C-alpha cells in the first residue's frame, strides 16, 4: 500500500476560501430564521428539524472557518508541530454535534408518531424549496475545499444532510397536501435522523484516529518498517512510532540498528532510510536514532516504548 495521499496540500488562495465560508454562514443564518418561523406557523416538525440542522450548519461553518485561520499559523515554541490539528479538532466538534442533533431528531420523531399533530402542507413545501436552494448554494461554496480538508468536509456533510432533509420535507409536504398523510412528517424526520447518524459515525472514526496518534490508514505499518530494514547497512529497526501530524502529513520516529562494520556510513544510511520512506510512503517527518549492532537495545519491540 502506498501513502501517496500524504503529501502537502496547499490552498492556492486561503482568503478566497474564507470569503466563501463567510458567504455560506450568512445564507444559512438567514434561512434558519425563515424555517423556524415557517415551522411554528405550519406546525411542521420536519421543518423545525431542518431549521435546527440549518442552524448547526451555520455554526459548523463558523467553527470550520475559525479552525482554518488557526491552522495557518506557523509552528512556535508552544505548538512545535504547528496548528494544523485545529482543523481536526473542529471536525470532531462538528461530527459530535451532528450525532447529538441526529439523536434529538429521533426522539422528537418518535414522540410525534405517538401523538400526531396537524401540518400545513403548502407553507412546508414553499419554505423547504427555498431551503433546498440555499443548501445547494452552500454545498457548492464548500464542495471543492471539502476534498482536501477533514474540517471543511465535516461542515460540508452537515450541509449535504441539510439538502437531503429539504428534499424529504418537500416530499412530506406534498404527500400531506395530496393525501392528508400527516404521519409522513415524523416518518421523514426519522429518515433524516438515521441518515445524519450514519454519516457522522462513518466519518468521526478517522478524526479520532488522528487525535489518538494512530498510524495513517493508507499505510501498512509493518510494510513501512520492512522497507526501512531493506536499506543497505540496516540490521534492524524498532521502537517505531508512526502517526499522522494532521490529515495530510505523516511522521515516523524509530531506532535504526546499523550493521557491524557499517558505522562509518551511519549518516548515509540514515539519509537513505529517510529518502526511501519519503519516496515510497510520503512520510516527510522522519526522526531516527542510530544504534550500532553491538550496542543495540536488548529484546526491542517493533512498535512503541522508548
Phi, psi values for residue 239, rounded to 5° = 45, 45
253: Cβ contacts below 8 Å, ≥ 6 apart: 240, 241, 286, 287, 288, 289
12 pLDDT exceeds 60? no
Host H or E run for residue 239: strand 234-244
User: Shortest CA distance to 71 belongs to which of 50, 85, 55?
Assistant: 85
pLDDT value of position 52 = 75
11 pLDDT exceeds 70? no
pLDDT value of position 46 = 66
Cell 494532521 belongs to 246
Going by pLDDT thresholds of 50, 70 and 90, the confidence category of residue 4 is very low
285 pLDDT exceeds 80? yes
CA distance 206 to 191: 25
pLDDT value of position 13 = 63
3 pLDDT exceeds 50? no
Report DSSP letters for 78-131, one per residue. S-TT-STTHHHHHHHHHHHHHHHHHHHHHHHHHHHHHS-----HHHHHHHHHHH
Sign of the Cα torsion 288, 83, 16, 208 reads positive
What is the mean predicted confidence (pLDDT) over 102-122? Answer: 82
Residue-wise pLDDT tens digits, 21-40: 887 888 778 878 877 887 78
Residues 221-295, CATH architecture: 2-Layer Sandwich (3.30)
Report DSSP letters for 174-231, one per residue. HHHHHH--TTHHHHHHHHHHHHHHHHHHHHHHHHHHHHTTPPPTTS-HHHHHHHHHTS
End-to-end CA distance of the chain: 27
CATH number for 4-211 (one of 3.60.20.10, 3.20.170.30, 1.10.1270.20, 1.20.1510.10): it is 1.20.1510.10
Q: Are strands 283-292 and 234-244 parallel, antiparallel or unpaired?
A: unpaired
Phi, psi values for residue 90, rounded to 5° = -60, -40
2 pLDDT exceeds 70? no
**What is the percent of the chain with per-residue pLDDT over 70, rounded to a whole number?**
92
**By three-state DSSP, how is residue 290 classified?**
strand
Same fold? 4-211, 221-295: no
Going by pLDDT thresholds of 50, 70 and 90, the confidence category of residue 6 is very low
199 or 274, which is more confident? 274
- Domain locations in the chain as residue ranges: 4-211, 221-295
Q: How many CB atoms lie within 10 A of CB 249?
A: 20
Q: Are strands 234-244 and 250-258 parallel, antiparallel or unpaired?
A: antiparallel
What is the mean predicted confidence (pLDDT) over 159-185? Answer: 81
User: Shortest CA distance to 200 belongs to which of 166, 143, 247, 153?
Assistant: 153
pLDDT value of position 98 = 86
304: Cβ contacts below 8 Å, ≥ 6 apart: 239, 240, 241
Contact 214, 88 (CB under 8 A): no
- The residues that bridge with 251 in the sheet, in sequence order, are 243, 285
Going by pLDDT thresholds of 50, 70 and 90, the confidence category of residue 14 is low
| Cα pseudo-dihedral 20, 13, 147, 52, rounded to 10 | -20
Residue-wise pLDDT tens digits, 251-268: 999 999 999 989 999 999
**By three-state DSSP, how is residue 291 classified?**
strand
pLDDT value of position 89 = 94
Contact 88, 211 (CB under 8 A): yes
**By three-state DSSP, how is residue 286 classified?**
strand
Contact 43, 172 (CB under 8 A): no
Amino acid at each position: 500500500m502506498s501513502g501517496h495521499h500524504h503529501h502537502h496540500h496547499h490552498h492556492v488562495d486561503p482568503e478566497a476560501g474564507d470569503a466563501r465560508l463567510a458567504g455560506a454562514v450568512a445564507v444559512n443564518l438567514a434561512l434558519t430564521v425563515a424555517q423556524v418561523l415557517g415551522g411554528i406557523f405550519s406546525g411542521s416538525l420536519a421543518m423545525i428539524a431542518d431549521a435546527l440542522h440549518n442552524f448547526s450548519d451555520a455554526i459548523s461553518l463558523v467553527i470550520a472557518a475559525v479552525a482554518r485561520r488557526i491552522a495557518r499559523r506557523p509552528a512556535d515554541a508552544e505548538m512545535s508541530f504547528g496548528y494544523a490539528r485545529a482543523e481536526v479538532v473542529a471536525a470532531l466538534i462538528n461530527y459530535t454535534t451532528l450525532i447529538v442533533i441526529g439523536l434529538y431528531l429521533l426522539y422528537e420523531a418518535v414522540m410525534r408518531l405517538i401523538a400526531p399533530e396537524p401540518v400545513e402542507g403548502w407553507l412546508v413545501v414553499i419554505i423547504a424549496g427555498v431551503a433546498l436552494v440555499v443548501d445547494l448554494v452552500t454545498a457548492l461554496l464548500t464542495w471543492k475545499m471539502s476534498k482536501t480538508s477533514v474540517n471543511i468536509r465535516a461542515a460540508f456533510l452537515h450541509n449535504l444532510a441539510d439538502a437531503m432533509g429539504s428534499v424529504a420535507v418537500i416530499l412530506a409536504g406534498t404527500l400531506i397536501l395530496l393525501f392528508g398523510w400527516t404521519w409522513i412528517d415524523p416518518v421523514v424526520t426519522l429518515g433524516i435522523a438515521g441518515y445524519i447518524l450514519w454519516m457522522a459515525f462513518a466519518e468521526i472514526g478517522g478524526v479520532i484516529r488522528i487525535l489518538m496518534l494512530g498510524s495513517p490508514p493508507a499505510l501498512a505499518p509493518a510494510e513501512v518498517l520492512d522497507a526501512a530494514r531493506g536499506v543497505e547497512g540496516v540490521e534492524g529497526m524498532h521502537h517505531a512510532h508512526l502517526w499522522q501530524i494532521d490529515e495530510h502529513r505523516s511522521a515516523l520516529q524509530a531506532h535504526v540498528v546499523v550493521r557491524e562494520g557499517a558505522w562509518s556510513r551511519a549518516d548515509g544510511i540514515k539519509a537513505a532510510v529517510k529518502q526511501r520512506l519519503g519516496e515510497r510512503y510520503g512520510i516527510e517527518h522522519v526522526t531516527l536514532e542510530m544504534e550500532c549492532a553491538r550496542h543495540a537495545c536488548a529484546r526491542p519491540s517493533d512498535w512503541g516504548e522508548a
